[in-house]
Amino acid sequence: MNPESTPGRHPVVVIGAGLAGLAVALHLADRVPVIVLAKRQLDEGATAWAQGGIVGVLGSDDSIESHVHDTLDAGAGLVDEDTARFIAERSADAVRWLVESGVPFSADPEGPLGLHLTREGGHTVRRIAHAADATGKAIHDALLERARRHPGVTLRERCMAVDLITHRHVRRAAHAAAGGAHDGRHNDDPTVRRCFGVYALDIDRRRVETLAASAVVLATGGVGKVYRYTSNPDTATGDGIAMAWRAGCRVGNMEFIQFHPTCLYHPQERSFLITEALRGEGAQLLLPSTGPGDAGGQRFMAAHDPRGELAPRDIVARAIDFEMKKHGLDHVWLDATPIVRDKGEEFLKSHFPTVHARCLARGIDIARQPIPVVPAAHYTCGGVVTDLDGRTDLPGLYAVGETTYTGLHGANRLASNSLLECVVLGRSCAEAILAKPAAPVPVLPPWDESQVEDADEQVVIAHNWDELRLVMWNYVGIVRTTKRLERALHRIKLLRDEIDDYYANFRVTRDLLELRNLVECAELIVQSALHRHESRGLHFSRDFPQSLPVSFPTVLTRPARSREG
């Protein structure tokens, strides 16, 4: 522990070791001890997969107002302008902090801070700082190294949060110790509601630990793995959203799942994202040829939006989906050869080395031939409702990053705002935790598995996982209908009953916990979509194809007497 840290204070437990979690941890660690939990290896989160970059209002041709305008425009009327402004105003400091932390951004001696800035869809100017086409990995590697060296940070791999420990667990244990029956009433007395820690599964030791905490921070990322096709890593199972919901927190805008327009279409590569920055530098979307005299080789984006390939992601994804269905295609082409023609092959290879190498390994030379691409679930624009300090509805519980709904992303996230949100709100969350005196933590009840046994087979988990993801892909995808959503909800509830029964009778494993969280999030997505009787941003309904004149976020509140895990 750092000698300046507060004596006797319980550690802050940060669940998630991506950019959001590490930003919080590093801003806390000089003052309080921090434990960071990673359910897999420390480098397996979504941050390391991010290719494009991070927004910084840095150039002389840029301004806070311009960035806010672009964010509002992309968010289709549901962005909270105060949130967008708060984050835009701190974007330059966020990039400077990363530079000072050792992130090797691509350089340009004539650029602001000596950085090369690129442009992505929805942005009116170049304002994206990047490290070639592997920005997330460069950021994550630098911050993870800082965290490893910091004496106030404890990093724990293969340690997965099971559930938050709240006043309800403490009260249940007190009732049981006193021999009284717990009837579930008075669980939500606002004077005693609080998060006191987390139950965490040590995967290698197969033991659930009780971790007391002065504060808990959810930084677990999004819920992309609820869909059959996604650009997300296997860690994206909505753990933080599901845990917060079970603990009584509100969630917002869960219907807005961003489908990235361009994921590589290849039988050996189902999750490799083709960065939007390729289109920012001039790559074009084309129709493949299906026979003589067809529209093969033609661009199609101009028919959908005057901005063409640089339209926001929701528009580009729907356009690709429309063209694939119209022409009976399995994919469309993303042609990067115009970049070679205008800027040279060396420019393409040096600015997009990851995409070039990955595609070349699959027999696709992007300097000479188009890339087959399809849309895939990419980003969760909704999540746990928080303020700009990461506070949730439950005292002692904070959340940062893709796990949250802050109002920044509205109905569609503007490219490269996600990494920025993690850095800016990671710092404000840490400052809020440090500014609040630590509340006393009672003796917490240990995890009770006296009534469960080891599962005799894993086929139930595997089958339910596959069924859930297929239902979500077929019924709750880019284009939706009320009937499809109702069918999805019916199937999800049946799956949830089966999963809850399995959870109640067998010892927990990572696969079971992830499936439990996914089915919880799937129901939240569908319920939110059913509440929105319009098409807006990432939510497009054939039954309600028009946008309403005035629209509001979708906020769901858990019934007070619902069972907590």
How far, rounded to the nearest angstrom, does the alpha carbon of residue 63 sit from its chain's CA centroid? Answer: 27
pLDDT tens, residue order, the chain (565 aa):
333 345 557 999 999 999 999 999 999 999 999 999 999 999 888 888 888 899 999 989 999 999 999 999 999 999 999 999 999 999 999 999 999 999 999 999 999 999 999 988 889 999 999 998 889 999 999 999 999 999 999 999 999 999 999 998 888 877 777 776 544 444 444 447 899 999 999 999 999 999 999 999 999 999 999 998 888 989 999 999 999 999 999 999 999 999 989 999 988 877 788 988 899 999 999 999 877 777 778 999 999 999 999 998 888 988 998 898 889 898 999 999 999 999 999 999 999 999 999 999 999 999 999 999 999 999 999 999 999 999 999 999 999 999 999 999 999 999 899 999 999 999 999 999 999 988 888 999 999 887 888 877 678 898 999 999 999 988 999 999 999 999 999 999 999 999 999 999 889 999 999 999 999 999 999 999 999 999 999 999 999 999 999 999 999 998 764 445 5
Set 90, 156, 193, 313: catalytic member: 313
Give me the CATH topology for the region 10-50+137-256+381-448: FAD/NAD(P)-binding domain (3.50.50)
Alpha helix positions (H), 223-336: 239-246, 277-280, 313-327
pLDDT recorded at residue 560: 60
Answer yes or no: 313 catalytic: yes
**CATH architecture, domain 260-376:** Alpha-Beta Complex (3.90)
Taking only Cα atoms into account, the Rg of the chain, rounded to an integer number of angstroms, comes to: 23
Rounded distance between C-alpha atoms, residue 459 and residue 232, angstroms: 24
pLDDT recorded at residue 1: 36
* Residue 213 CB coordination number (10 Å): 26
Helix (H) or strand (E) run with residue 156 in it: strand 153-156
CATH of 452-548, one of 3.40.50.300, 3.30.450.20, 1.20.58.100, 3.60.20.10: 1.20.58.100
Domain locations along the chain: 10-50+137-256+381-448, 260-376, 452-548
φ and ψ at residue 527, rounded to 5 degrees: -60, -40
pLDDT recorded at residue 190: 44
